[in-house]
Chain A
Amino acid sequence: MKVSLFVTCLVDQFFPDAGASTVRLLRRYGCDVSFPPGQTCCGQPAFNSGYVNAAREAAKNHYKNFADADYIVSPSGSCTGMVHHYYRELFADDPVMLEKVSAMVDKTYEFSQFMVNVLGVEDVGATFPHRVTYHPACHGMRLLGIQEEPMRLLRAIRDIELIELPKAEDCCGFGGTFSVKLSDISGAMVTEKSEHIEETRAEYLISTDMGCLMNINGNLRRRGSKVKIMHLAELLYHASADK
């Protein structure tokens, strides 16, 4: 099975280990993983701020890099959500591109959805005897429909103590440029999210989105919290890697 990795700009620059963990896990289950080096960004920051032309340039480059892929997998619910939910809109006026881009969109998967629904894997043989709580990233949940997949992967981890996060479905306040444009409102939102995380007394916070994790982690660190963040792929990989 040939898989092209859509690493996302955020993971590339700030959280490369999440990308590496994704690659290693996919390879274990028979995927031949390639990494189109020309990829840049899906265009979401521009699109969500109203800069459609800039977003389209990014989308064209994205298409160029992934047009020939069999499967495209990304460790980001929000970037995958952008592709699924808005890419067709970006090319609505160009029927030829629209058809080509649509085909690419249909081959694009978020990491946990790909593991569970395509590879059929829920148990990676991980052991993690720690208190863990999970934050369902908004775009992944509401644009892509990610529901049970991350939980299935988490529940299969041996010795893990999964604690439900209060008001889990409330937004962490990242929203891309929202976090800097209306930073005080964003700050209030992430503060409440941090408070809920601390209520769980979890040692680790897991999510499918580094945007959320970066945002929450920043606030947790400021608060002097001991909670550590991990991308779901990082947790699954490191908790099951051959030592």
Chain B
Amino acid sequence: MTHQQPKTLKKRADIALHDDFLRKAVRFTTDRLRGRKEESSGALGDWEEWRERGRQVRIHTVANLDYYLGEFTKNMETAGGHMHFAADADEARKIVAEIADSKNTKIFAKSKSMISEEVHLNHMLEEKGIKVVETDLGEWIVQLAHETPSHIIIPAIHKNKSQIQELFEDEGHEKLAPETKVLAGFARRRMRETFEKADIGMTGCNFAIAESGSVVMFSNEGNARMVSTLPKTQIIMMGMERVLPTWVDLELMANLLPRSATGQKLTVYMSAVNGPRRAGELDGPEEVHVVVLDNGRSKILGDPEFQDVLNCIRCGACLNVCPVYRQVGGHAYGSVYPGPIGAVLTPLIAEDKKAWGELAYASSLCGACYVACPVKIPLHDMLVHLRRRHVEAGYSPVSEKIAFAGFGAAAKSSGVFNSAANAARWVQLHMIGDRSDQTDGPHGLEAAGPVAGWSNHRALPSPQKESFHDLWKLLKDEPAETPGGTDGKRDTHGA
């Protein structure tokens, strides 16, 4: 999270809503990725069955996480890798700092790792005087701009070619052009030097295969391979839940993940690292360190309402279908993880639940995220449950608590409820009037309290002279009309 960002969701969203390029870029990106996912998942023929398999495999893995993580550890160590376990972000940073110190690190080359952003690793390394370079093209752009990524898969969608050209020109002190080929070519040349000079290469981990102790990375650019081939030391940071039992389970994920993320049948590179190089090998790291991170994840285990959020394979499909993300992009969430998955995961792993709990309200609960998720995480239900917890913890506004307490009391009896509703209708009828056709607004009472939120963008509905309860007095005894149509009544079901 950048230091310039405002502290509330509403304020951050406001900035985003006024950024036309950002909104265009987000829509363009999410439309493209969404369309590609539809196409490539449809091509498999029975996507719902794939989703169910994905869900079962992930549920099983998380339910047996201690076992599989234990197996992974044993096998990675047998292959010569070093395993480290970090209870929280602080410990994760300490572990990396120690490794970096022991190698007199000057240059630290990173390929995409969201978890390293979660623990604010770069800042710590830079404070130690270590040059940290993000080698993933989108992450490098975001790093040069001193920002955070705005999308899980395409980190710099909020930047246009001219902005990228400017960033690259400042970095390389050479003239470039706002053309993709030129900019990508610059990145290729510059990054080569980094790959060759880096003392440590860091990658993330898409899946850790328990049966062999292997870390699997899905990538397209080649930088993940670079940082796991050239530097003498490799560090892999992973969330503790990113485990798969076997290689054959990887084939399942190798279909679900790329198709859901970008619509590709498979990413250009799927690379497995099983410890450091062996005797006689001419390249590859001398040392491999795997840092396994908890940072709040174990708190979610054993909680039937939320445990399934740990099934996430970080594909970004939920972002691409979320109508809220579509309007405001990733930075509005203020968290490393944006979109629906971010709105659920962030409050769960955060220390400050009061502040982050508001993310669960950044949703109209439309359910598109659940339908899009390749492992069927019920994010829409989790958002409602998080809201319940937020209220139970006493974090919701007092006025809202009072309003809903009143609602609960009124809803018990139609006498009370209808009086209240009729009264509100009376006010609207006699004190606001029918403003439903007005193109300007809000005025007067329309701008009062919560109604203002509505009226800023919408006319109020026409106030009715009678409620349905009133209409029923005559409707009750109205005779039935004859049915029309060719079908009429096909099947009476015992009427």
Contacts and interface: CB of A to CB of B under 8 A. Distances in A.
Q: How large is the interface on A (under 10, 10 to 19, 20 to 34, 35 or more residues)?
A: 35 or more
Given A24-B481, A179-B453, A138 B364 contact: yes
Contacts of B293: none
Nearest to B367: A142
A20 B478 CA distance: 11
Nearest to A71: B493
Contact of A40 (B17, B326, B410): B410
A185 B467 contact: no
Interface in B244-276: none
A137 to B, nearest CB: 9
A57 B439 contact: no
Contacts of A46: 404, 407-408, 411
Given A125-B483, A218-B458, A178 B413 contact: no
A232 interface: no
Contacts of B50: none
Interface in B292-344: 323-324, 326-328
B323 A189 contact: yes
Contact of B411 (A61, A181, A224): A61
Contact of B365 (A52, A53, A178, A185): A178
B458 A24 contact: no
A9 B469 CA distance: 10
Interface in A1-53: 1, 7, 9, 11-16, 19-20, 23-24, 27-31, 35, 37-41, 43, 45-53
A26 B469 CA distance: 18
Contacts of B475: 20, 23
Interface stretch (B87-95, B229-237, B281-289, B389-397): B389-397
Given A143-B367, A184-B13, A121 B456 contact: no
A190 interface: yes
Given A48-B365, A60-B412, A13 B425 contact: yes
Contacts of B409: 57
Given A27-B480, A118-B493, A139 B367 contact: yes
B308 to A, nearest CB: 15
A176 B364 CA distance: 7
Interface stretch (A94-102, A166-174, A198-206): A166-174
B161 interface: no
Given A45-B407, A126-B484, A119 B493 contact: yes
B414 A37 contact: yes
A240 B408 contact: no
A172 B101 CA distance: 54
A156 B408 contact: no
Interface string B474-494: 011010111111111111111
Interface string B113-149: 0000000000000000000000000000000000000
B29 to A, nearest CB: 15
A111 to B, nearest CB: 14
Contact of A178 (B14, B361, B371, B457): B361
Contacts of A39: 414
A23 B475 CA distance: 8
Contacts of B327: 185, 188-189, 192
Interface in B430-470: 436-439, 441, 450-454, 456-462, 464, 466-470
Contact of A175 (B363, B414, B490, B494): B363
Interface string A184-226: 1111111110000000000000000000001101110111100
Nearest to A221: B459
Nearest to A65: B414
A141 to B, nearest CB: 8
Interface of B: 9-10, 13-14, 17, 23, 323-324, 326-328, 361-368, 370-371, 380, 384, 386-392, 396, 400-401, 404-405, 407-414, 417-418, 421-422, 424-425, 436-439, 441, 450-454, 456-462, 464, 466-472, 475-476, 478, 480-495
Name the 9 nearest CB pairs between A and B, nearest first. Answer: A125-B484, A218-B458, A175-B364, A54-B408, A183-B453, A187-B457, A50-B387, A120-B490, A142-B367
23 contacts: A7-B468, A12-B469, A13-B424, A29-B489, A35-B472, A37-B414, A38-B413, A41-B407, A49-B391, A50-B389, A54-B405, A58-B408, A121-B488, A138-B368, A156-B487, A170-B368, A176-B364, A178-B365, A183-B452, A185-B17, A219-B457, A221-B437, A240-B485
